[in-house]
Amino acid sequence: MIEVIESGIPGFDEITVSESISGGIPKNGTTLIYGPPKTGKTIFCNQFTYHGLTKEEPCLYITLDYGIKQLKSNMMDFQWLIQNYIQNQSLYIIDGISKLSGAKLDDTNNYKISSANNPADIMVKVGIGTRSVYKKSKHFRSILDSINTFIEFNPEQMVIRVLKAYLRRISEAGGTGIIAYTEGVADPETENVLKSLFDHTIRLDGENLLIEYTLEDYDVHTFESSYKITDKGFVVGKI
């Protein structure tokens, strides 16, 4: 039976049950959540992060689409208040966009400023952040939202190399990672390579989600359901 962790998404864990999976997000694996724009990828990531924090599972969060102020605001829209988790350092944030937009912010112990156009610096901070959250728990969550910004600022082949290094680091440290990507941003060939890097995938189209979990024996378990975004967040199945 593959180990999983609670997603925090109502209905999600219930539909991902099979003879080999007890339902949830595969533990110590990497999952790509992808689909067209505005289909709920960031909300899914944020809900997954917040649920983990409430379960005392720390999170390394790399935000490349939104700065820290917008991240807090996005979370607050659903009453997911993260300030206390920032203060107690169970949420470690690498902000790769605020500096590019001209915001003047200072590093703290668990808030690091970097740049999406400087993957080497981000990876150094990923290493530091991974060690930080690992000290709090050997089982942590990690979010990268999203690859799109990386691709906009860097050659695609470089992004693939950096992504491989990131995924390896998270997996070796025992983390469970979710990475967001909007379809069509990368060249089609690069997009296929990108999708092949992950252990598992979740595709959203705005109404339905398709989940593919690949187990150690390369046995693929597929799950499908409808979903909606409510004022309480992402909900799978009938409401």
pLDDT recorded at residue 103: 85
How far, in Å, are 73, 127, 163, 182 from residue 133 at the CA level? 23, 10, 20, 27
Is the separation of the CB atoms in 95 and 105 below 8 Å? yes
Q: Give the CB-side neighbour count of residue 53, counting CA atoms within 13 A.
A: 25
Amino acid identity at 72: K
Say if residue 24's pLDDT is above 60: yes
Q: What does the pLDDT look like over 105-120, one tens digit per residue? A: 899 999 999 999 999 9
Q: What does the pLDDT look like over 135-172, one tens digit per residue? A: 999 899 999 999 999 999 999 999 999 999 999 999 99
Between CA 169 and CA 101 the distance in angstroms is 28
pLDDT recorded at residue 238: 65
Q: What does the pLDDT look like over 33-71, one tens digit per residue? A: 999 999 999 999 999 999 999 999 999 999 999 999 999
Between CA 74 and CA 40 the distance in angstroms is 12
Q: What does the pLDDT look like over 77-104, one tens digit per residue? A: 999 999 999 999 999 999 999 998 888 8
Q: Within the chain, where are the H helices?
A: 12-15, 41-54, 68-76, 83-87, 119-136, 147-153, 156-172, 188-196
Reduce the DSSP state of residue 230 to 3 states and report it: strand
Say if residue 239's pLDDT is above 60: no
